[in-house]
Amino acid sequence: MPVLALLDPRTTRRLLAVLAFRAALAALAALFAAGCAGSAFTGSSRGRILAVGAENEYANVISQIGGRYVQAVAVESNPNTDPHSFEASPSVAEEVSSARLVVQNGVGYDSFMNKIESASSSSSRRVIDVQTLLGLPDSTPNPHLWYKPTTMPVLAAALVADLSAIEPQHAAYFRANAQSFDRSLAPWYAAIKHFRDSYPGTPVATTEPVGDYMLEAAGTRNLTPFTLQADIMNGVDPAPQSVTLENSLFAGHRVKAFVYNEQVTDSLTASFLDQAKNYRVPVVGVYETMPTPGYSYQSWMLAEVQALERAVADRVSTEKL
């Protein structure tokens, strides 16, 4: 105030206006930072191994194997983001550059990780690429590998190997965790087997291939042409022929369930959803990233199969988990 008193009123007003504007800018910046804080890395790891999972389902498995010796961070966990079109922010780059272990999906799904890793190369960082781990070619049409029932046990074994190499003194602990993780997948496998035995060859429709590996394991017949699923996944307009066919699946009651990707949506998928509801085709919501909170990888996968069974057996929709 004493400083302001020295200035004439007009200058004071202008100064105040400038200050108010700067304060508003600062408030905006703080809001923005708070909005991004979900993915921001919190610094100190208190002696734990820093590990990054490109998608939160992988981060979840890392933390189950690594237990108390690992701090796992997820790059993608926002249910309102379509991971196919995700672009990494500088805070993600910081997480990756300080991580000792990184797990990424591959098949072009999270290629932004490769860019970040090459930008901050580190010889001590271990990168597990699930596509490479499973020996899949780049031309693999469906990148959603975490819905494949065989994927995570293979990843768990690789995690044990890498974590044990980083901290050999805890190798037995990691191995024990992996064993109990593998055992905990049993209810999911049992649910898939039960569905396959009880409802063999169930016809279903989808919007996008996210859950296709699980649907395949459950013995369903996906009547949606893969070209339509790929177009929706890649964000281009599908052919009118495919749209007509998809609509006819609902109108003709040719499918028992509509498996709807809640994370890759547009006006077209919304119109399919309307059609499905019009013709009382039960809807099963599936996700690109693990719905949080309250789910682990295993309980999420089990919930998806149970939702599918409810749709087919009781004609009940589970739009959102």
Partner 1 sequence: MSHFLTPVFEPGFFESTTVHVAALVGAAVALVAAAVGLFTVMRGQSFAGEALGDIGTTGGSGAFLIGVGPLWGFVAISIVAAAAMEMIGIQRPRGRDLATGIVLGAALGLAALFLYLDATYRNTTGATVTILFGSIFTIAGSTTPVIIVLSATALAIVAALYRPLLLSSVSTDLAAARGISVRLVGALYLLALAISVALASMTIGTILSTALLVGPAATALRLTRRPGAAMLAAAGIGIGATWLGIVLAYDSYDWPPVGHGWPVSFFVVTIVFVLYLLSGLPELWRTRRRRRVDRAIAGEPQLAGDG
Instruction: Provide, rounded to whole angstroms, the least separation between the CB of residue 255 and partner 1.
Output: 19
User: Are residues 69 and 173 in contact, defined by beta-carbon separation less than 8 angstroms?
Assistant: yes
Closest of 173, 110, 119, 114 to residue 143, by C-alpha: 110
| Residue 141 touching partner 1 (CB under 8 A) | no
Output the smallest distance, CB 30 to partner 1, in A.
Answer: 18
CB of 86 to partner 1, least distance (A): 7
Among 74-82, 119-127, 169-177, 195-203, which window interacts with partner 1 (CB under 8 A)?
A: 74-82
132, 198, 241, 278: which one contacts partner 1 (CB under 8 A)? 241
Task: Indicate the Cα dihedral angle 10, 16, 21, 26, nearest 10°.
Answer: 160
Which residue, among 116, 77, 101, 219, has the nearest Cα to 155 in the 3D structure?
Answer: 101
Task: Scan residues 82-101 and list those touching partner 1 (CB under 8 A).
Answer: 82, 84-87
Report the residue from 15, 34, 239, 316 that binds partner 1 according to the rule CB under 8 A: 239
Beta strands in 77-123 (DSSP E): 101-104
Min separation Cβ 242 and partner 1, Å: 7
Q: Which two tokens stand for residue 104?
A: 């990424």
Pull the structure tokens for residue 142: 């469906």
Query: Among residue numbers 261 through 320, which ones bind partner 1 (CB under 8 A)?
Result: 262-269, 271
Asked whether position 240 contacts partner 1 by CB under 8 A, the answer is yes
Decide whether 198 or 227 has the Cβ nearer to partner 1.
227
* Residue count, binding to partner 1 (CB under 8 A): 35
CA-to-CA separations, 208 to 44, 77, 152, 258, 287, in angstroms, rounded: 39, 19, 22, 11, 10
Structure tokens at 216: 């395949």
Nearer to partner 1, 189 or 279 (CB): 279
